[in-house]
Chains A and B, each alone.
Chain A
Amino acid sequence: MTSRRDFFKLAGVAGGAVAAASVSRVAMAALPEPVIQTSPDTMAPLVPNSGRPYNPVVTLNGWTLPWRMNQGVKEFHLVAEPVVREMAPGFKAHLWGYNGQSPGPTLEVVEGDRVRIFVTNKLPEHTSIHWHGQRLPNGMDGVAGLNQPAIQPGKTFVYEFVARRPGTFMYHPHADEMTQMAMGMMGFWVTHPKVKNPLIDEVQRDFCFLLNAFDIDPGSYTPKIMTMLDFNLWSWNSRIFPGIDSLNVRLNDKVRIRIGNLTMTNHPIHLHGHEFLVTGTDGGPTPKSTRWYEVTTDVAVGQMRQVEFLADEEGDWAFHCHKSHHTMNAMGHNLPTLIGVDHRGLSKKINNLIPDYMVMGERGMADMTEMEMPIPDNTAPMMTGEGPFGSVEMGGMFSVLKVRRDQKPGDYKDPGWFKHPEGTVAHEYEGPLSEPARFKAEGGQSMPRAQTPSQPTEVKVRKPQSHSGH
């Protein structure tokens, strides 16, 4: 039996989490008190002090939900409710989530645990929870209408099953799913192995996060829930760069990163400086014979990937989705390309009409980060982030893996910028430079064209500063 005192202790561990006072204690007497998280920061791992021991994960910009043991059953209490999530400093979103945050807290259990999850619905509409990837009784699968009645507003449902196989899982609603996912309702689930599993290695650092996406009109707070594919915010755990924490590890740590994709498109997740192995998927640990090293793994829609590597290269290594527009924040998708378009004489004319007009895009989009002009309220700039050498001009799904010799075991604090050893940073070449000899392509074409173009194409290098065309 776990007392309320244990709960508060756990809440303390979870860093700033508080027990909800808004639910009547009498009504909730039989339920574990729900714990609410108010901070979007990455919380320290929740080391289990009851139930079976395991090596806890760290949820990027998230937290693990404390539980209570009730006659051998691990009891959690999730509260589905509207939340305000800081997606990046200065940019807040009105989302739906669980226990104060979107995504909801990570649930960590051990293989073979009997788990009982109370779900209280404080949303304005009914909901349900589907335990994505779990083996469980059909009536616990959480598809409203198919497996259970929907949980009406104000009602509490209870799910109970045994966590049968170890691995990486997710939870999300399966009632009015498009709305509720677009509003940010989702969470992570990790089932740790009960005994040593030959396919699951011990690691020193175990990170997890969900890929999610929102369509929030610049200047507004609430996502557009009817958007199908044209999202404008690509996030990890509902955070966008520069709001995403770095992954801080000690040199030569074995690191595991678990990624689940609840967006509507695939994400080629790419790590610099190291090769990794995909050691697990939705189906559990991968057979060793199927593993090969790579630096980018594609995480398809509704999938989970677990990658592992040895962090044996010191430094600050970029870690991001390789779709370049996914490393951007809100931006226009229909802007004309202005590269190379001379604006001489025009700006003044436009300034007569629009006094604050400044030319942007004549050289490319980096103008955006250089000019620092005011943008709509509650909007993160399209690309930003000040690194030690200037702006990294990124947004969305981007973070940094920080590998440090002097990072202490179990310490997840940000060590600051990497101090490069002398002579190991690219620098300006100051010697003589001759015009490169241009190579004329030898190749022809596989077949002749039926109609000959009126003007033969002549490939030549366009000098960016040239205004000869007009």
Chain B
Amino acid sequence: MRRTLQSSGARLAISAVTLAVLSGCASVSLEQNVSRVNDEASSFTEKKLALSRTEQERKERADAAQALLTQPLGQREAVQLALVNSPSLQALLAQGWAESADAAQIGRIANPIFSYERMVAGDELEIGRALSFGLLDLLTLPTRQGISRYRIEQSQLRLTSEVVDQVTQVRQAWVRAVAAQQTLRYARQVYESAEATSEIARRMQAAGNFSRISRAREQAFYADAATRLATANHQATATREELVRRLGLDEAQAPLLKLPERLPDLPKQAMDPQTAGSYATRNRLDIRLAQTNFEAYAKSQGLTTVTSLTDIELTARRNTKTDSATGSRSDPRGYEIGVRLPIFDWGGMQRDAMSARTLAAANQLEATIRAAGSSLRESYSGYRTAYDVARHHRDEVVPLRKVISDENQLRYNGMIIGVFELLADARDQVNTVIAAINTEQQFWLADAALQASLIGRPTSTTLSAAAPPSGAAAAGH
């Protein structure tokens, strides 16, 4: 009797250990998550992404940020700074960790239930002990662990996508901020020219050489230029602050932010469409995300077929019955199996829902695969067009304006045109430079969008037509 009791206890213990081992397979850690993102998106993160939990780690990150802030911040450095400094990226990592942990939970078995009952009936005392667990839970464990793995995979891919998103936004914010600052510098030149023009006009009226209307015409342009300078000033502030937010700079860090004088030069050659296409098909995040989603649902479907119909509960039972009147004592042992009878609910709805979800996921996967090529082609076209337009401005438009400017200088020297025409032309030239900066900005925005698209995070690029020099109308006088 004692032996049997011992053996049944041993069996329980073995089961418990087995469960613990099995459930241990489906666990997930923060480090796993972060290194997964760093591997997947190494071109974006350069493996520098880390979530800090301790004071020491936080301090290391702060020091790294401080070091990056001592130099003018290039685009690459801006991304690095966001990775070490941005609290929203940290939040994203923490959230990703939570999501993975939740997903891992699916692969664990529910804890067994121990029940103890004590019944007294007259002289009779009955003590019942039962250890019960869901038998189906145990039987389906391998399947559920499979699902769990897909869910973890999914949550990690989603995290990577979001990191890619954030990095893309940092890049684009950086491009806008640098371009706005560059534009501001030229807007100031236009303003200065307008100011000089207006001052000459004022002095000309004072000397009696200009009528009031002629002077007013020159001054009207000056007034417009002042408005445009103010707008450009705000634009520079707004884009800088956008970047500050993306980098997650605090009040102390923000004033330290220094940007380079100008946007980087255009690459010598644009990425050709073959390279872009082949790079993209290998490793797209969006397709893999849809794929794991589908697989998780497909896996769940088999499980649901069983669990929707019934539930089996296995209980090991050992009772002790004592009769104080007779002094007798008995220890009945046994087990009981509880099966939920599918009388009212044969689980059809659950299975339908599951099939529908699997079907949806399958179609979602198909849709993602089909859209992937198209959105990449669009991104590439945006990138390529922006590149060609920016190059055209750099190689054709700006040099042409330079020729016009040089020739106007010669014409001024020969007293063929006057100082006002010369200044109007100078303003035109500056406006052309501003338009050229605009095209460069568009290129770098499109470049960031293409990088994200290649890794499988389609980002739309809207190209705006380069604004014509706004001084053109004013050049008539």
Residues of A within 8 A of B (CB): 218-219, 330-332, 334-343, 346, 349-350, 352-354, 356-358, 360-361, 365, 368, 371, 373-376, 379, 381-382, 469-470
Q: Which residues of A contact B204 (CB under 8 A)?
A: 336-338, 341
Q: How far is the CA of A309 from the CA of B118 in the complex (A)?
A: 154
Residue from A338, A350, A352 within 8 A of B209 (CB atoms)? A338
Asked whether, in the complex, the Cβ of A374 is within 8 Å of the Cβ of B422, the reply is no
Q: How far is the CA of A331 from the CA of B196 in the complex (A)?
A: 24
Is B120 an interface position by the 8 A CB rule?
no
For chain B, the bracket of interface size reads 20 to 34
**CB closest residue in chain B, given A372:** B413
From residue 399 to 438 of chain B, which have CB atoms closer than 8 A to chain A? 405, 407, 409-420, 422-423, 426, 430
Asked whether, in the complex, the Cβ of B209 is within 8 Å of the Cβ of A353, the reply is no
Choose among B204, B423, B430 the residue with the greatest number of A CB atoms under 10 Å from its CB. Answer: B204
Residue from A219, A332, A341, A356 within 8 A of B407 (CB atoms)? A219
Q: Which residues of B contact A373 (CB under 8 A)?
A: 413
Is B213 an interface position by the 8 A CB rule?
no
Q: How far is the CA of A2 from the CA of B184 in the complex (A)?
A: 81
Asked whether, in the complex, the Cβ of A330 is within 8 Å of the Cβ of B206, the reply is no
Asked whether, in the complex, the Cβ of A335 is within 8 Å of the Cβ of B407, the reply is no
**4 closest cross-chain pairs (CB), A and B:** A375-B414, A373-B413, A335-B418, A470-B206
From residue 187 to 218 of chain B, which have CB atoms closer than 8 A to chain A? 189, 192-193, 195-196, 199-200, 202-204, 206-210, 214
Q: How far is the CB of A458 from chain B (nearest CB, A)?
A: 14
Q: Which residues of B contact A354 (CB under 8 A)?
A: 405, 409, 422-423, 426
If A346-B199, A349-B196 touch, whether A334 touches B418 (CB-CB below 8 Å) is yes
Q: Which residues of B contact A379 (CB under 8 A)?
A: 414
Q: Which residues of B contact A361 (CB under 8 A)?
A: 415, 418-419
Asked whether, in the complex, the Cβ of A350 is within 8 Å of the Cβ of B196, the reply is yes
Q: How far is the CB of B187 from chain A (nearest CB, A)?
A: 13
Asked whether, in the complex, the Cβ of A352 is within 8 Å of the Cβ of B415, the reply is no
Additional pairs, 12, CB under 8 Å, beyond known A353-B192, A376-B416 = A219-B407, A330-B416, A331-B415, A332-B417, A336-B419, A341-B209, A346-B200, A349-B196, A354-B405, A354-B409, A375-B416, A376-B411
Asked whether, in the complex, the Cβ of B407 is within 8 Å of the Cβ of A339, the reply is no
Asked whether, in the complex, the Cβ of B210 is within 8 Å of the Cβ of A346, the reply is no
Q: Which residues of A contact B206 (CB under 8 A)?
A: 469-470
Q: Which residues of B contact A352 (CB under 8 A)?
A: 189, 192
Q: Which residues of B contact A365 (CB under 8 A)?
A: 415
Q: How far is the CA of A373 from the CA of B422 in the complex (A)?
A: 15
Q: How far is the CB of B168 from chain A (nearest CB, A)?
A: 37
Asked whether, in the complex, the Cβ of B409 is within 8 Å of the Cβ of A356, the reply is yes
Q: How far is the CA of A236 from the CA of B411 in the complex (A)?
A: 25
Q: Which residues of B contact A331 (CB under 8 A)?
A: 414-416
Query: What are 27 A-B residue pairs whose CB atoms fall within 8 Å in the complex?
Result: A218-B410, A330-B416, A331-B416, A332-B416, A336-B210, A336-B214, A336-B418, A336-B419, A337-B204, A340-B208, A341-B209, A346-B200, A350-B419, A354-B422, A356-B409, A357-B412, A360-B413, A368-B414, A373-B413, A375-B410, A375-B414, A375-B416, A376-B411, A376-B414, A382-B414, A382-B416, A470-B206
Q: How far is the CB of A358 from chain B (nearest CB, A)?
A: 8
Interface flags for B295-336 (1: CB within 8 Å of A; 0: not) read 000000000000000000000000000000000000000000
Q: How far is the CB of A234 from chain B (nearest CB, A)?
A: 16
Q: Which residues of A contact B411 (CB under 8 A)?
A: 218-219, 332, 375-376
**CB closest residue in chain A, given B408:** A354
Asked whether, in the complex, the Cβ of A332 is within 8 Å of the Cβ of B418, the reply is yes
Q: How far is the CA of A229 from the CA of B409 in the complex (A)?
A: 27
Asked whether, in the complex, the Cβ of A374 is within 8 Å of the Cβ of B195, the reply is no
Q: How far is the CA of A358 from the CA of B189 in the complex (A)?
A: 18
Interface flags for B334-360 (1: CB within 8 Å of A; 0: not) read 000000000000000000000000000
If A218-B414, A218-B416, A382-B414 touch, whether A353 touches B430 (CB-CB below 8 Å) is yes
Asked whether, in the complex, the Cβ of B196 is within 8 Å of the Cβ of A346, the reply is yes
Asked whether, in the complex, the Cβ of B414 is within 8 Å of the Cβ of A330, the reply is yes
Q: How far is the CB of B131 from chain A (nearest CB, A)?
A: 89
Q: How far is the CB of B195 from chain A (nearest CB, A)?
A: 7
Q: How far is the CA of A337 from the CA of B211 in the complex (A)?
A: 12
If A375-B413, A376-B411 touch, whether A341 touches B193 (CB-CB below 8 Å) is no
Q: How far is the CA of A165 from the CA of B243 in the complex (A)?
A: 92
Choose among A343, A350, A381, A469 the residue with the greatest number of B CB atoms under 10 Å from its CB. Answer: A350
Q: How far is the CA of A434 from the CA of B214 in the complex (A)?
A: 40
Asked whether, in the complex, the Cβ of A357 is within 8 Å of the Cβ of B415, the reply is no
Asked whether, in the complex, the Cβ of A332 is within 8 Å of the Cβ of B189, the reply is no
Asked whether, in the complex, the Cβ of B419 is within 8 Å of the Cβ of A338, the reply is yes
Residue from B195, B203, B207, B413 within 8 A of A349 (CB atoms)? B195
Choose among A337, A341, A371 the residue with the greatest number of B CB atoms under 10 Å from its CB. Answer: A341
Q: How far is the CA of A470 from the CA of B199 in the complex (A)?
A: 11
Asked whether, in the complex, the Cβ of A470 is within 8 Å of the Cβ of B419, the reply is no
Q: Which residues of B contact A376 (CB under 8 A)?
A: 407, 410-411, 414, 416
Asked whether, in the complex, the Cβ of A341 is within 8 Å of the Cβ of B414, the reply is no
Q: How far is the CB of A363 from chain B (nearest CB, A)?
A: 12
Q: Which residues of B contact A374 (CB under 8 A)?
A: 410, 413
Q: How far is the CA of A364 from the CA of B195 in the complex (A)?
A: 24
